[in-house]
Amino acid sequence: MNVPLETAVKVTGATLDNRDAAPAALQVSTDTRTLQPGDTFLALRGERYDGHDFVAQALSRGAAMFVVEHSDARIPKVATMLVQDTKAAYMALAGAARTLFGGRVIAITGSTGKTTTKSFLAALLATKYGDRVLAAPENENNEIGVSKLLLNASDAEHDVLVVEMGARHYGDVAALVEIARPQIGIITNIGEAHLEIMGSRERLEETKWGIFCGGARSVLNAGDEASRRRASLLTRPPHWFAAEPPSDGAQLETLTTLKGDCVIHRSRGRSVEDAVEVRVTGRHNRENLAAAIAGALELDVPLERLVSVIPNVELPKGRYDRIPVAHGVQLIYDAYNANASGMIAALDAFALEQASRRIAMLASMAELGDESSALHERVGAHAAGRVDVLLVQGEFADELARGARRAGMRLEQIVSVPANAHAARWLREHARQGDVVLLKGSRKYKLEEIVEELRP
């Protein structure tokens, strides 16, 4: 979305140098590798980079104007907007772009399942909106990713934006809502992610609930305790979703569920049921799919259209990827990231695998604060009844093992490995034909290295 120059200066509070050379509207780029002639280059700063170092390169690629923090980054005779904070300016420009966008915006947050639900939802919406649906790739869900999506939107090309909203700090979601202003908000669940940084479960819940601070219609998980507890705070009844019909489902005014091979949608006393083939693995992913179906219904996609597409939806990369390796062994890579709820859900799905042996390689989870030890023991205990062999790694490997032992797993079934290379070596030496191996853990442990080690 091109932001008019005067609007851009106003919302960012910028000082504009060389106004006569400035473009009438800004097409914003933060990456010189994709910058097009005539774009405005905004110099973001990160932990490992500073966009100000690339101003000269941006000029050589045809940048028409710059947004910078440092006056010494200005170039003579080239239009420059000088701002106090380029990230804040980027978000302000994104908010201006959102104001100009005439389509609809649906946002997704939650402790787990955000990216999967976004992927499912974008595929379902295509049945009505075709390629006029814009969703961020992968997990670009922070201030930079959401701003980029909004600035890439265009009334000429898009009718719907699907925005994923992540949160590592208290209040992050509300800050994203301020610029994205979604009409519909989905909370997949409220678990334990980033507890250490958030400070408490209450602050975590408040942060996720911020998705409704702009008045968005709510789509909520009927099986999520925090959502059920907080639903009374909403001005309108939610659209509930569930992987299976909840026991008190009749009390929920609007409810979308997947029951076996049927999708059931009930609203205002009227119920519609359609047969459907669901191919995604795991109850948690059926839950994500139900959330996506509910979101698509809120955006006026008829249920009969959705039913025709549901069998074709696929999990995003890194989510329960099935990878055959040597000697008839299969790996299931589900290590994009991890918290306790996600680990437990993956183990439940893994327990249904038909295998000679089910072997789980569990790495530790991150950012769980004071609850770290207890949550790792809980995951270890959950694994004990679902796997035949448990490999553990990372900062809380002992707690994972202790939980498994307390739940009845024998000592010889538990293997502690100091690093990915050791895990790969153990699997090469001990895994045999018919075994299935789950790789699950925090992103920091880079379990994809085990996949690479074991590929034929």
pLDDT of 413: 97
User: Residue 158: inside a domain, yes or no?
Assistant: yes
For 63, the domain range is 3-84
User: Residue 276: inside a domain, yes or no?
Assistant: yes
On whether both 220 and 162 belong to a single domain, the answer is yes
pLDDT of 247: 81
User: Residue 96: inside a domain, yes or no?
Assistant: no
pLDDT of 193: 67
pLDDT of 196: 66
The counts of H helices and E strands in the chain are 16, 22
DSSP-assigned letters across all residues of 384-453: HTT-SEEEEESTTHHHHHHHHHHTT--GGGEEE-SSHHHHHHHHHHH--TT-EEEEE--GGG-THHHHHH
**The two structure tokens encoding residue 291:** 């959330």
On whether both 134 and 282 belong to a single domain, the answer is yes
User: Residue 91: inside a domain, yes or no?
Assistant: no
On whether both 363 and 431 belong to a single domain, the answer is yes
Q: What angle do CA 228, 234, 240 make, to 5 degrees?
A: 45
Under 8 Å between Cβ of 439 and 361: yes
User: Residue 92: inside a domain, yes or no?
Assistant: no
The CA-based diameter of the chain, rounded to the nearest angstrom, is 76
Domain containing residue 67: CATH number? 3.40.1390.10
Domain containing residue 414: CATH number? 3.90.190.20
On whether both 285 and 330 belong to a single domain, the answer is no
CA–CA separation, 107 and 218 (whole Å):
10
Give 175-179 contacts, CB < 8 A, sequence gap 24+.
175/91, 175/143, 176/107, 176/143, 176/146, 177/107, 177/210, 177/211, 177/213, 177/214, 177/216, 178/95, 178/214, 179/91, 179/92, 179/94, 179/95, 179/98, 179/146, 179/147, 179/150
pLDDT of 84: 96
Q: How many residues make up the chain in this entry?
A: 456
On whether both 304 and 325 belong to a single domain, the answer is no
User: Residue 448: inside a domain, yes or no?
Assistant: yes
HEC sequence for 167-230:
CCCCCHHHHHHHHHCCCEEEECCCCCCCHHHHCCHHHHHHHHHHHHCCCCEEEEECCCHHHHHH
Handedness of CA 234, 240, 246, 251 (dihedral sign): positive
On whether both 286 and 433 belong to a single domain, the answer is no
On whether both 352 and 298 belong to a single domain, the answer is no
Tokens 């153990």 locate to 426
Helix axes of 201-209 and 172-180: crossing angle, nearest 10 degrees: 0
Under 8 Å between Cβ of 363 and 335: yes
Under 8 Å between Cβ of 60 and 32: no
Domain containing residue 134: CATH number? 3.40.1190.10
pLDDT of 195: 66
User: Residue 373: inside a domain, yes or no?
Assistant: yes
Amino acid at 257: T
CA–CA separation, 327 and 455 (whole Å):
11
CA–CA separation, 157 and 227 (whole Å):
35
On whether both 65 and 127 belong to a single domain, the answer is no
On whether both 48 and 112 belong to a single domain, the answer is no
On whether both 107 and 183 belong to a single domain, the answer is yes
User: What domain count does the chain have?
Assistant: 3
Beta bridge mates, 416: 392
Under 8 Å between Cβ of 283 and 348: yes
- Consecutive H or E run containing 342: helix 340-350
Judging by DSSP bridges, how do beta strands 389-393 and 414-416 pair with one another? parallel
Task: Answer with the one of 84, 117, 136 that is the final residue of a domain.
Answer: 84
The DSSP call for residue 356 is S
Judging by DSSP bridges, how do beta strands 389-393 and 321-324 pair with one another? unpaired
Task: Answer with the one of 22, 52, 84 that is the final residue of a domain.
Answer: 84
Closest CA to 167 of 367, 394, 453, 359: 367
**The two structure tokens encoding residue 125:** 């919406």
Under 8 Å between Cβ of 70 and 41: no
On whether both 306 and 162 belong to a single domain, the answer is yes
On whether both 51 and 121 belong to a single domain, the answer is no
User: Residue 71: inside a domain, yes or no?
Assistant: yes
CA–CA separation, 324 and 330 (whole Å):
4
pLDDT of 168: 85
Task: Per-residue pLDDT tens, the chain, 456 aa: give them.
Answer: 899 999 999 999 999 999 999 999 999 999 999 999 999 999 999 888 899 999 999 999 999 999 999 888 888 899 999 999 999 999 999 999 999 999 999 999 999 999 999 999 999 999 999 999 999 887 789 999 999 999 999 999 999 999 999 988 899 999 999 999 999 999 999 987 666 667 688 888 999 999 999 999 999 999 999 999 999 999 999 999 999 888 887 689 999 999 888 999 999 888 999 999 999 989 999 999 999 999 999 999 999 999 999 999 999 988 899 999 988 999 999 988 788 988 999 999 999 999 999 999 999 998 888 889 999 999 999 999 999 999 999 999 999 999 999 999 999 999 999 999 999 999 999 999 999 999 999 989 999 999 999 987
CA–CA separation, 316 and 336 (whole Å):
10
